[in-house]
Structure 1
């Protein structure tokens, strides 16, 4: 099959499809699937497990509650961990108070390279602790809830 023949075939199939959309039942289905209102868009987004990627958080997000999913890159002193996904890295603060002891245990026991979902509040890093080499080096996320989605062998 030549390239031109393939294009003609594709064009004819698209023409048939566009004629089908003019039928009443097709218009009803296409209109009901369209995400024209905010309510429909929010229903659609309720299936998404995260609100942001690990590489997109900046100082403008300070104060927002976010949900991140990613791999544990490394842990430091049981106080911090670095979460990564395909877009970047974010530093996570592990809570040390008794009220969040279950969250601390989940994150502390999770081996490096485990996949986790954390929810928390974006905060600015304290003065002197900002990392200019990281795009997300001005912020960190204080965790409220954590869940191991897939544990890695130690």
Structure 2
């Protein structure tokens, strides 16, 4: 790691292929389930952490995220909390310029394929511990969160 410089993300290659995208039990904009082809792509294995994002903020003068000063989210190895889509795009552009490699956000289909972890179909109500929430029940929202959606891998 370079002091105050970018750390290139550990990337995982997701192979090309089709998968069933969407959810019959999710929000209206997730329906209907449909088959989607996605070319091979690479995605970061881990979320961007504060230490790496701070290098971006210091180098560019970009304004910090809404929760940057929140005392609950101050550990250097914690994921960045609350970045907007625009914040994430700005970080990708900065990282691309620093490393001379092209980084971008995944498309909706790429993100869903990666989150499914190779599962063709999944019950997004099911939790990793084997429990599931009752039909029609939504995931609890965290104060300040902008979305209550969960992926199958979460």
- Fold conserved (TM > 0.5)? no
Decide which structure has the larger Cα Rg and report it.
1
Relative to its length, the structure with more helix (as a share) is 1
How high is the TM-score relative to the length of structure 1? 0.24
How high is the TM-score relative to the length of structure 2? 0.24
